[in-house]
Structure 1
């Protein structure tokens, strides 16, 4: 093991903090760090350099030796490793407490107390934790038997109970010396060889050999158990972990295995060669065992990983579950054919739950009422362009606002846990509760406007605060909106236009006051070490917060004094990157998001009007999350830089007096959110505080 770790990580894992230490002590520390890197590589499928960059072991690591983050999925492993030359490393309650304490530091965004290697990963960690689908695994790695003491197990179970108030977000795993050696053995063999016992099969011989049939889910689970991420080397993504969809797969496998084949789309495997051996020579159409050389699952990674998870919960159930498997030999295929298969099998237009609500008559009625009574646009079909903010809103924006405005705080909690809950129907479904008897369109529109104000307050608050206060502003946004609506918001829905304008001007100060009180009560009620993210995903805790804050406001209680630990120090400002770089690095705009063009002057609008009228798609584009040419123009299907596309459009429109230069990021808008510049500025504000001097957590002037 030591030789394998030295071979892979000797020049990659930093040991600068051990330069003056004893050679034996230095080597032991290196092997422990290398062991953490080995497992970081195993769980994420990254290369050696990326795995070494995951290592944060050292001073102020708070019990975390490595932070492994899955590319393309909201999943983190917090790894603590223990090396022993004799293979006897243990793991006690003290180490468990340190690891859980490190998790608390991350949840509370206390990166200033962590070392530089850890702080460098802060943005990526925050991006995962801000995702409603986030999954965190505390991974204990020991060069020993891998047995936890009862006290250590209790420590981890307590953390799970506290963090997993509404869903399995936190878990822990233990890996031992045998697991480490298995990783090394797997790496010695570059190729993955699978066996598939297939029934009800069909063979295709030309032009390329392939088999399709049914394989036991138990055997599919074993594939993952033996090979983990190496099973998906040619796939476009690894397993996404236990997402909501994958949890449904696990539930079907364990609770209704006989029906699984009917519900699941199956798996596609590419391999070099297929060696078929029938179970019985006398029954050539009976079951067959396929040996697949250099195999890779290119479609169905989530099914494979879910089968493995189900086998850990109820291994017997998988014996009754069948999976449809297609195996294709690419030995005689032309160059690029395997890539084409991978692309084709992973390209499909998904149907989301929100798509079904577009069939409801109420949505068409709301759209018509918006147009008739407000002269505004309301869009409710996925794929429709969101209107500019001043011109209307989408069903998504309206649904979030109405859910927060509802008297029941549980709605805000449920959509914090899972935004897709917005479209749940039934007596307790959020969609039914907010849209079965839709409020007047003026109330919907004003709820949207007020929610926008609250979101602006939160963006500013996250930039100005640090530690737990920043975490409350980041994770408590929906509950803050609920508080604003309950305290004053709904009282103003029927105001005259003049009264409404006065209220909206006062709303930011009211929201800041409520946010400060909510921050205070998170600590006062649940302690200043409580998990912030899970607090706002816990219906009982959120109900307590709502009561405390609204009681304060009703009694005109003075604003509690904020802890100075929550004030963000103002660092020297680094140079601000360009807007596209900020947006791409932060993944601020979803891949494929719609963009619309806005003119910059009356002269430009008049000049371009007829040209746009000839082909409305000239004002439309979609976002490609890459630094180079991130805008895909709807008019020709080509990619451009923001400024490059604007000047190209001017040229095509034959605008002779067009400006020599243009800031294109000011001209392209994400409907309902803002221009590219505005979104980039928001990302920048989240990283750097713009104000000078100390920030006191007090209400803004009314």
Structure 2
């Protein structure tokens, strides 16, 4: 009897998975006959593969060790925390021997419920294998990592309306406090699994027939091709590979609405002929390259090349902006053909001893050496210069607007740096959006010195006296909040104190407007008391969250504009009776 195509695909999948992960899968908690153990090994290999797919540079052994499958696994078969990429993978794997089954509504619902339990940090529901990663998961929550909620199954690709509804409902629930969609479901079926497994190496991207204009060739010490590439090719790469082509990059895209990418897109759409002049270009690492036989040996106006295992290590914002502009219909392929971008393809053969270190060093250097950020341009802002000069007249205070690595003055109460100023002025503004953004992405304030965001904080109306008094009050609040944090009797309360500190400090500023409007610098010893306001703010917020937002995760809660607004006006949302009943 002839096997069906799906059965052949299942057999191929099993063979490849067992070859990659089989030797590393722990079966010490599995009984039964050999056939049963084989099924469990394949199922666990599926879970390890899912982890490996989103962490392609992690060794198969490590991915296999992330498996926590067992009778007491609470529907999570693998967990892996990648601190470099700041992502967490939670995996449920299902082996369908026929290759044609669909996702079970009940099983998928159980998986999503278990994901909710992880978000709520109900670690006691999970087995010991899962809890090996408890500390890593807590660190991930505190640092606002992204979560990949992966359901991998060796069945058909068509999703039922029930499954689509569950995904939609859970995404709305899990991301309710978040603006950037930190929790994302990834559903991987048999076709996708075998498509990935068919690659020569997991995560390998080969770029064929790439046209490089006005190219040059460097042979030593690292072979490389450099020249110009057109935007239509970059858009097609992005369409085919998405952000997997950025796997070796220090960071991915900053987001379509960041000031950097808005500026890139504006040039791309409205001034494409100037793109080459305004843009720094991209750098691509490859394992190997070959030149087309059609390339003329004496003329280098245009050449075609094939690149093996390519990864863009610098220029992520350029590629993501071009790619998304094309996919969103903002520009056409014909338009992008006129966009020129500098490009370097550097060959770092991994088979040569020591080249792994070379690859890492090239990546780091391209993303850090002599790096200039928006924060560095602040020192040229006339508003900052005037404010610095004004503060420096209020001896012994000094305002340092240039970024430096010197930490000598951190403990000096009369030394003010840009971070101090940003923190204090945002808290004094009482604007929920700014407070939430300062918590989630403070670098946004410096992306453009002409943006309303930056000018809302730093503008000519900010006097030296206001800045100094604001910073001193901020520092006093921060010192007392650390006392509150140390006195918390459980982890959740401590996280409220830590992640809510900016909002609690803003409430102190709200209650001391008269002080902040002083025309003279107030002595540090004469600052208004802050203890009562902070303690009551913490108590009311803690009680309200316990009653109404038990499922919310604290780092994300205080990055949500609506929740920040709520805490800023907590008295309007909670009664004294609620507090008493909650404390009793």
Provide Cα deviations, 1:520-574, integer angstroms capped at 9, x if missing partner.
22344x442245444323323322332233776xx9x3671586xxxxxxxxxxx
- Change in Cα spacing, 1:453 to 1:25, as seen in structure 2 (3 Å) is farther
Correspondence for 2:51: 40
Equivalence for 1:359: 380
Tell which deviates more after alignment, 381-390 or 303-312.
Answer: 303-312
2:134 equivalent among 98, 122, 126: 122
Matched, 1:268 2:284: yes
- Structure 2 distance, partners of 1:484, 1:187, is 59
Structure 2 partner of 1:613: none
2:15 maps to 3
Report the counterpart of residue 144 of structure 1 in structure 2: 155
For the residue of structure 2 that corresponds to 1:2, the secondary structure is helix
1: CA distance between counterparts of 2:362 and 2:30?
51
3-state DSSP class of the match of 1:358?
helix
1:546-565 correspondence runs (5 A)? 546-549=568-571, 557=576, 560-561=579-580
Per the TM alignment, residue 46 of structure 1 is displaced from its structure 2 partner at its CA by 0.5
State the shift of 1:490 in Å. Answer: 5.9
- Counterpart CA distance in 1 for 2:299 and 2:523 is 83
Relative to structure 1, the CA distance from residue 188 to residue 295 in structure 2 (aligned partners, 3 Å threshold; closer, same or farther) is closer
Q: 2:500 aligns with which of 461, 476, 479?
A: 476
* 1:376 matched residue in structure 2: 397
* Aligned partner of residue 118 in structure 1, secondary structure: helix
Residues 108 and 532 in structure 1, CA contact (< 8 A), matched pair in contact too: no
Structure 1 window deviating more from structure 2 (175-184 vs 200-209): it is 200-209
| TM value normalised by structure 1 | 0.66
CA shift at 1:174, angstroms? 2.2
Label 1:310 to 1:193 Cα distance change in 2 as closer, same or farther (>3 A): same
Q: 2:434 aligns with which of 411, 416, 423?
A: 411
Q: Is the 8 A contact 1:423 1:431 kept in 2?
A: yes
Provide the C-alpha distance between the structure 2 equivalents of 1:194 and 1:35, rounded to a whole number of angstroms.
Answer: 28
Structure 1 residues 256 and 47: alpha-carbon distance in aligned structure 2, compared to 1, 3 A threshold: same
Question: Partner of 2:198: helix, strand, or coil?
Answer: helix
C-alpha displacement of 1:55: 2.6
Does the 8 A contact of 2:243 with 2:252 survive in 1? no
- In structure 1, the residue matched to 2:445 is 422
How far does residue 382 in structure 1 lie from its aligned partner after superposition?
0.9
Match of 2:207 in 1: 194
CA contact (8 A) 1:487 1:550 kept: no
The answer as to whether partners of 1:239 and 1:301 remain within 8 angstroms in 2 is: no
* Contact 2:171–2:183, Cα closer than 8 Å, also in 1: yes
Alignment partner of 1:53 is 2:69: no
The CA distance in 2 between the partners of 1:459 and 1:108, in whole Å, is: 24
Residue 487 of structure 1: aligned partner: 511
SS in 2 for 1:481: helix
Q: Secondary structure at the match of 1:350?
A: coil
Larger CA deviation: 147-156 vs 185-194:
185-194
Partner Cα distance (2:343, 2:564) in 1 = 46
The corresponding residue for 1:324 is 342
- Specify whether residues 300 and 366 from structure 1 end up closer, same or farther in structure 2 by C-alpha distance, changes over 3 A only: closer
CA distances 1:587-614 after superposition (whole Å, capped 9, x unpaired): xxxxxxxxxxxxxxxxxxxxxxxxxxxx
Greater Cα offset, 104-113 or 41-50? 104-113
Who is 1:292 aligned against?
Answer: 307
In the alignment, the residues of structure 2 paired with residue 209 and residue 105 of structure 1 have an alpha-carbon distance, to the nearest angstrom, of 51
2-structure distance, mates of 1:274, 1:62? 50
Alpha-carbon distance change, 336 to 67 in structure 1, aligned in 2, over 3 angstroms: closer
Partners in 1 of 2:448 and 2:404 — Cα distance? Answer: 22
* Structure 1 counterpart SS, 2:24: coil
Q: Structure 1 unaligned runs (5+)?
A: 564-696
Name the CA distance, whole Å, in 1 between partners of 2:371 and 2:89.
Answer: 29
Alignment of 1:3-402 (within 5 A): 3-16=15-28, 18-20=29-31, 24-44=35-55, 45-58=57-70, 61-131=73-143, 134-162=145-173, 163=175, 165-187=178-200, 193-204=206-217, 210-217=224-231, 219-220=233-234, 237-238=248-249, 240-244=251-255, 249=261, 256=268, 259=272, 262-263=278-279, 265-278=281-294, 287-293=302-308, 297-300=312-315, 317=332, 320-321=335-336, 323-328=341-346, 339=359, 345-383=366-404, 385-386=406-407, 387-389=409-411, 390-402=413-425
Output one character per residue of 1:39-62: Cα deviation in whole Å (capped at 9) or x when no partner: 211211211122123333446655
Cα deviation code 1:431-470 (max 9, x no counterpart)? 3223314544444334323333443454455553546434
Mapped contact 1:492–1:503 kept (Cα < 8 A): no
- Secondary structure (helix, strand or coil) at the match of 1:522 reads helix
Aligned partners of 1:509 and 1:359: how far apart in 2? 41
List runs of 5+ in structure 2 lacking aligned partners. Answer: 1-12
The separation in 2 between residues aligned to 1:172 and 1:149, in whole angstroms, is 15
Deviation at 1:32?
2.4
Given that residues 400 and 422 in structure 1 are in contact (C-alpha distance below 8 angstroms), is that contact kept between their aligned partners in structure 2? no
Decide which moves more: 540-549 or 34-43: 540-549
> 1:138 touches 1:171 (CA, 8 Å); kept in 2?
yes
Cα distance, 1:38 vs. partner?
Answer: 0.9
Cα distance in 2 for residues equivalent to 1:478 and 1:527? 19
Deviations 1:387-420 (A, max 9, x none): 2332322121121112112133332122223212
1:651-686 CA-partner distances (Å, limit 9, x unpaired): xxxxxxxxxxxxxxxxxxxxxxxxxxxxxxxxxxxx
CA deviation after TM superposition for structure 1 residue 482, in Å = 1.5
Where 1:197 maps in the other structure, the secondary structure is strand
Q: Secondary structure at the match of 1:186?
A: coil
